Amino acid sequence: MELTPMMQQYLATKEQNPGSILFFRLGDFYEMFFDDARIVSKELGLTLTSRSGNKDKAPMCGVPYHAAETYINKLVGRGYKVAIAEQIGDPKAKGLTKREIIKIITPGTVLSESALKDAQNNYIALVYEKNEDIVLAGADISTGECFYGIYTGGNRLQMLLDELYRLAMPELLVVGKPSFMDALKEFTDLRLPNCSYTLREEISRAVDDRIIQHFDAATRPDSQEAKEAVATLLDYLHETVMTDLTHLNKLTYLDASENLVIDTYTLRNLEITRNLRDGGKKDTLLDVLDFTETAMGSRLLKKWLEYPLLNVLPINRRLDAVEELTQDFSLRGGLRADCKEIHDFERLLTRIEVGTANARDLIALKISLMCLPGIQQHMANVKSQVLTECKAGIQSFDALVDLLQRSIVEEPGISLREGGIIKSGYNAELDEYRRIAHDSKAMLQEIEEREKEATGIKSLKIGYNKVFGYYIEVRHSGTDLVPDRYIRKQTLANAERYITEELKEFETKILGAQEKIVQIEYNLFTEVRETIKSQLTEIQATAHEIAIVDVLTSLAEAASTYNYVRPRMTNDGVIDIKDGRHPLVERILTRDLFVPNDTRLNHNDCEIMLITGPNMAGKSTYMRQVALLTLMAQIGSFIPAREAAISPVDRIFTRIGASDDLVSGQSTFMVEMNEVAQILKYATKDSLVILDEIGRGTSTFDGMSIARAVIEHIESKVHAKTLFATHYHELTDLEDDKVKNFCVAVKERGTQVAFLRRIVAGSADKSYGIHVARLAGLPKAVTKRAEDILAALESEQGAEAAAAVAQVAKPAPKAAESDAMMGSLFASSLSDTLLALDVMTMTPLEAMNELYKLQEQAKREAGQA
């Protein structure tokens, strides 16, 4: 197929960007060709056409340039990269218009306001392995954050994966071929399915230059491998964004030694920032505590929840601030009202920095800056250290506000190329051209009247057409009065048309006025934008302080609204909570009152709480509650309790609930054992461990043995503060100086059972599983049969129990279809088949096949096949 010069230009541009979908500007459209066209038409539902008429040979599709952002956002949201090729030369010039890639939009570098979620960061991360160390570099270019972490030792890969889960980034760069690539891919496929991969063959070739370009000496890494990782990430950002990124000017080191470590399992199990249902914010701890008024504050609160503090001093500083805000309603209300008017500073500044901000962004910045004096005034008399530091860090920008007030109209349009964004009175030249454009008819009438008077031609009139422009028309009867300064342009049947120097000058002004207005307005806008950029660092710092104030005010509002109390932070290794409540569950309960419970864990007389009791009685809720209250205290939040003294923990480990990782082929029991292995390997005496029903995924004796061994290991080797819930009542004999038995109080009245949801000292002697089955709606025949079997099992011991089950009388057959079904359920051939199955080793597909066979067998035995 012979290619036109334009198509040759397209293919050459595409060859330079093979991993991106190329949006190629042709007039008022972005066009895509060949494979790109096929992909885009399928993903966006666009019609596939062709310039040659044969869409099989040269498929093509396109989108209007003014609506391209919507289409690009959809593609990027699905993991694609989009390269934008714009017309650089004059499209009216002869020959082929020059086109160049102006930016590449990727999932981790998207800056479009409509594509970003206000309360969520949009991170991009890079992973780099060197000398058995793993380096993580990351950034959110929409907010200006940049950070790195170094992971060493035997747990380095797990620490990396935990960090990636917290970041939940849509794009991950991998340098070279790390030894853990398979495990990394498996983890992201399972936990971060929307994350796209970008591979980099080698590190940056200008490491030191990149680091010096962006960061001052105080924040540059000491480690060479960290410099290499950060510089390589910056290279990629410059290659894609293709604009100034000086707002990435502060580099943060992820120092795990300063924070309570929360691994992936715990973050998921406790539903701290993402729920298990759909990964959203609803019904999470973040959802409960989020009374923030700014997008910056909401993002920072999420970060505090995922990185709780470890040391008592900074925790108490935050608690002091929350206490001051809780007690001072006027201060809290004033700050919340001011913060409510503040737009997303961080992302506004980024759009200004990279040159994508429009006039509406500048108005949003002006409104935000105008709120700062009010915040300063409200904080004039604050006493707590953190609030005092925030007050000192919040600057006012009166000169900028004045500039924006004078220059930008209050309700500008979105486009910068259509005018109407600069106020009248700001620039004299602009005002003059506007007067010309606005008063053109009056000025034209003025010229016409003046010419009539000067020439004496009463029928003279001024007109306009696209061919000749403006002209003076005189009927033939008046041509003898036409002065010499008139230049004839056209002869008509009954008139002559002329031009004059004045009319030509007027025409030039009129026709060029609108274009000139737009250009002047754009130039003035960029001048204002550059003035703002000169103070970008100072505004960024103020934005950060505003976010802290917003989070502290949010925590104070939550404390006031929900009746939370300030925990007393200690260093004695004790967690002592009086009448603690679950922060999520108590919010969800509408008809019942939440039953509070006490907790006392220490290294002297109650290191392990061994909790027994029935299902649905509240054991799991209670254990989650202790973990969540400890975490809340360590972010500097008040907690739902009557009173509490909490010593910070270095890690919170949880093993709660039954969840199959079917994608990775792991059964419930394997998942459970993996999580327990992690806990036993990395927990310390300063950790808080939550274990729920260990061993239930295997046989009774196997499970009981594992559960006992785990408790013994924690008591003798780990010494972590532990809450251990179990159905194995036999484990209650482990009670000693450090292991204490607790149970959920139950009230029985005849056959009626009430779960009091109160944790009390002692052990339970029943599980009440059949009662729970009855509440769940199992048929009476089934629960009755279960009671008979249970009675037989409880009357025998050890090996005699199996024989006792066989002696239990089967229900007498009744002439009803339900009895026929029960009879077939316990028929000998079907029972033998069921007993022969090794369920715990079967894959989901094998299990479905066996279930189908069993159903067919049951039909045959019931005479239905």
The answer on pLDDT for 379 being more than 70 is yes
Contacts 24+ apart (CB under 8 A), 503-506: 503/447, 503/462, 503/470, 503/471, 503/472, 504/470, 506/443, 506/444, 506/447, 506/470
Q: Is residue 521 part of a domain?
A: no
The answer on pLDDT for 802 being more than 60 is no
Distance of alpha carbon 861 from alpha carbon 369, whole angstroms: 79
- Predicted confidence at residue 781, as pLDDT, reads 81
- Burial label, 64 (beta-carbon count in 10 A; 0-12, 13-18, 19+): exposed
> Are 95 and 139 part of one and the same domain?
no
> Are 719 and 574 part of one and the same domain?
yes
The answer on whether 170 is annotated among ligand-binding residues is no
> Are 627 and 758 part of one and the same domain?
yes
The answer on whether 616 is annotated among ligand-binding residues is yes
Domain of residue 201, CATH code: 3.30.420.110
Tell me the per-residue pLDDT of 695-714, one tens digit each, with 9 for 90 and over: 777 777 888 888 899 999 99
Confidence tier at 835 by pLDDT (50, 70, 90): low
The domain tally of the chain equals 6
Structure tokens that stand for 400 in this block? 């900028």
Confidence tier at 677 by pLDDT (50, 70, 90): confident
Which of 339, 247, 252 shows the shortest CA–CA distance to 545? 339
Tell me the per-residue pLDDT of 531-587, one tens digit each, with 9 for 90 and over: 999 999 999 999 999 999 999 999 999 999 999 999 999 999 999 999 999 999 998
Q: Is residue 798 part of a domain?
A: no
Q: Is residue 174 part of a domain?
A: yes
The answer on whether 613 is annotated among ligand-binding residues is yes
- Predicted confidence at residue 464, as pLDDT, reads 86
H helix count then E strand count, the chain: 31, 27
Tell me the per-residue pLDDT of 218-245, one tens digit each, with 9 for 90 and over: 899 999 999 999 999 999 999 999 988 8
Q: Is residue 640 part of a domain?
A: yes
Q: Is residue 231 part of a domain?
A: yes
Interval 386-392 mean pLDDT: 97
- Predicted confidence at residue 798, as pLDDT, reads 46
- Predicted confidence at residue 771, as pLDDT, reads 66
> Are 730 and 601 part of one and the same domain?
yes
Domain of residue 763, CATH code: 3.40.50.300
> Are 556 and 607 part of one and the same domain?
no
Q: For the ranges 45-59, 210-224, 661-675, which has the lowest average pLDDT?
A: 661-675
Q: Which domain holds residue 358?
A: 290-397+535-562
- Report the chain's mean pLDDT, rounded to a whole number: 87
Tell the residue number behind the tokens 């502290």, with chain if given: 552
- Predicted confidence at residue 801, as pLDDT, reads 45
Instruction: Fill in the DSSP letter of residue 96.
Output: P
- Predicted confidence at residue 823, as pLDDT, reads 40
Instruction: Fill in the DSSP letter of residue 695.
Output: T
Distance of alpha carbon 388 from alpha carbon 617, whole angstroms: 46
The answer on whether 466 is annotated among ligand-binding residues is no
3-class SS of residue 147: strand
b/e map of 2-40 (b: 16 or more CB within 10 Å)? eeeeebebbeebbeeeeebbbbbbbeebbbbbbebbbbb
> Are 450 and 380 part of one and the same domain?
no
> Are 573 and 692 part of one and the same domain?
yes
- Burial label, 73 (beta-carbon count in 10 A; 0-12, 13-18, 19+): middle
Measured between its terminal Cα atoms, the distance across the chain in Å is: 64
The answer on pLDDT for 679 being more than 60 is yes
Strand partners, 497: 473, 490
Q: Which of 734, 753, 770 is at the close of a domain?
A: 770
- Predicted confidence at residue 657, as pLDDT, reads 63
Confidence tier at 819 by pLDDT (50, 70, 90): very low
14 residue type, one letter:
K
The answer on pLDDT for 818 being more than 50 is no
> Are 543 and 609 part of one and the same domain?
no
Model's pTM, two decimal places?
Answer: 0.82
The answer on whether 619 is annotated among ligand-binding residues is yes
Residues listed for the chain: 865
Greatest alpha-carbon span in the chain:
134
- Predicted confidence at residue 797, as pLDDT, reads 52
Distance of alpha carbon 318 from alpha carbon 321, whole angstroms: 5
Q: Is residue 95 part of a domain?
A: yes
Tell me the per-residue pLDDT of 52-74, one tens digit each, with 9 for 90 and over: 655 567 899 999 988 899 999 99
User: How far from 83 is each of 27, 29, 239, 499, 747, CA to CA, in Å?
Assistant: 17, 14, 11, 50, 68
Residue 765: phi and psi, rounded to 5, are -110, 0
The answer on pLDDT for 2 being more than 90 is no
> Are 555 and 687 part of one and the same domain?
no
Interval 19-24 mean pLDDT: 94
CB proximity list for 817: less than 8 A, separation 6 or greater: none
The enclosing H or E element of 537 equals: helix 536-562
Q: For the ranges 1-15, 308-322, 422-436, which has the lowest average pLDDT?
A: 1-15
> Are 713 and 631 part of one and the same domain?
yes
Distance of alpha carbon 388 from alpha carbon 20, whole angstroms: 49
User: How far from 639 is each of 112, 625, 636, CA to CA, in Å?
Assistant: 38, 10, 9
Tell me the per-residue pLDDT of 497-511, one tens digit each, with 9 for 90 and over: 999 998 988 888 787
- Predicted confidence at residue 639, as pLDDT, reads 98
The answer on whether 813 is annotated among ligand-binding residues is no
Domain of residue 55, CATH code: 3.40.1170.10
Give, to the nearest 10 degrees, the angle between helix 428-438 and helix 501-533. 140
The answer on whether 45 is annotated among ligand-binding residues is no
Q: Is residue 349 part of a domain?
A: yes
% pLDDT > 70, the chain: 88
> Are 306 and 157 part of one and the same domain?
no
> Are 167 and 228 part of one and the same domain?
yes
- Predicted confidence at residue 432, as pLDDT, reads 84
Who has greater pLDDT, 420 or 797?
420
Distance of alpha carbon 463 from alpha carbon 148, whole angstroms: 69
Q: For the ranges 113-127, 534-548, 737-751, which has the lowest average pLDDT?
A: 737-751
3-class SS of residue 30: strand
Distance of alpha carbon 103 from alpha carbon 239, whole angstroms: 8
Instruction: Fill in the DSSP letter of residue 661.
Output: B
Q: Which of 770, 804, 829 is at the close of a domain?
A: 770
Confidence tier at 750 by pLDDT (50, 70, 90): low
Q: Is residue 777 part of a domain?
A: no
The answer on whether 620 is annotated among ligand-binding residues is yes
